Amino acid sequence: MALGVKFIRQAGIMISKPVTLILIFIYVIQTTATVFLFFDRAEKDRVVHRQEAEIASLQREIDTLKEKLQIFEVIKDFQIGFTDEEIAQIGMVIYTESRKYDYDPFLLLAMIMTESSFKKGQISNVGAQGLMQIRPFVGKDVAERYDLGWEGEYPLFRPSFNIRIGSLYLFELILKFKDVKKALIAYNIGEGALRERISLGMGLPKLFVSRIKDNYLMLKEKYEDSSDSSNLAPVSGAVNG
């Protein structure tokens, strides 16, 4: 009887070893497969994220190119007296200044159209010069305070310099008045004149802002892709309002 039990035990051990090896083998295969699937999924996720980033980058490049083309198209259609090289410079500086100060480029284009009609060498009856019609004492003050280089006898007739000064000056006024419409009025009649009107409780002039708004809406409707829902500048809403 003891021999029978011993034999059965030995037989049981002999049977369990292969089963154990099979179970271990299955476990190893399952674990390996799980690890492989995990890393395969992680690699696929990295590929997807990389592709999404590349697509987003490409879309930004397309949007940038589209925006630049819109700016150049407006300038080419309305400019009077500028060379092709000057047109390219004007387009690039409008784009870069809009990015710098978070303007809608069409706002700067509308301001230039309102101020100078995109005519080269414009000068007003009060001495304002260039595309954005800046008076020399204002331009010189802005240029010297920000070390922009006030060089030559008539630097404001250089289109790129004029737009940089005008964009910065408008940005200063927006920060001071916390209101785009008031900033535009101050740009037109002078900061001191606007503050005096406000202190005296006088009504604010409407013609300049109204003309900018009309030009802005016209340019947006004519040149901006109707499928483009992006808005680069919070100030556009203020002008449009």
Comparing 224 with 84, the larger pLDDT belongs to 84
Share of the chain above pLDDT 70, in %: 85
pLDDT range class, residue 172, cuts 50, 70, 90: very high
Angle (nearest 5°) at CA 52 between 49 and 56: 140
What is the structure's pLDDT at 239? Answer: 53
- Is the separation of the CB atoms in 213 and 84 below 8 Å? no
Tell me the C-alpha distance between 111 and 170, whole Å: 10
DSSP codes joined into one string, 149-183: ---SS-GGGSHHHHHHHHHHHHHHHHHHHS-HHHH
Joined tokens for residue 233:
């500048």
Q: Which amino acid is at 110?
A: A
Least confident interval from 127-136, 148-157, 178-187, 231-240: 231-240
What is the structure's pLDDT at 16? Answer: 59
What is the per-residue pLDDT across 105-120, written as a single tens digit (0 to 9) for each? 999 999 999 999 999 9
Least confident interval from 18-22, 102-106, 201-205: 18-22
Tell me the C-alpha distance between 241 and 239, whole Å: 5
Q: Is the pLDDT of residue 236 over 50?
A: no
Report which of 235, 227, 209, 229 is spatially closest to residue 106, judged by C-alpha positions.
235
pLDDT range class, residue 235, cuts 50, 70, 90: very low
Q: Is the pLDDT of residue 36 over 90?
A: no
Comparing 57 with 73, the larger pLDDT belongs to 73
For the chain, domains (ranges, CATH) are 67-240 (1.10.530.10)
What is the per-residue pLDDT across 184-218, written as a single tens digit (0 to 9) for each? 999 999 999 999 999 999 999 999 999 999 999 99
What is the structure's pLDDT at 86? Answer: 96
Q: Is the pLDDT of residue 13 over 70?
A: no
Report which of 106, 109, 114 is spatially closest to residue 230, judged by C-alpha positions.
106
Question: Quick one: average pLDDT of 31-57?
Answer: 77
Mean pLDDT of the residues in the chain: 86
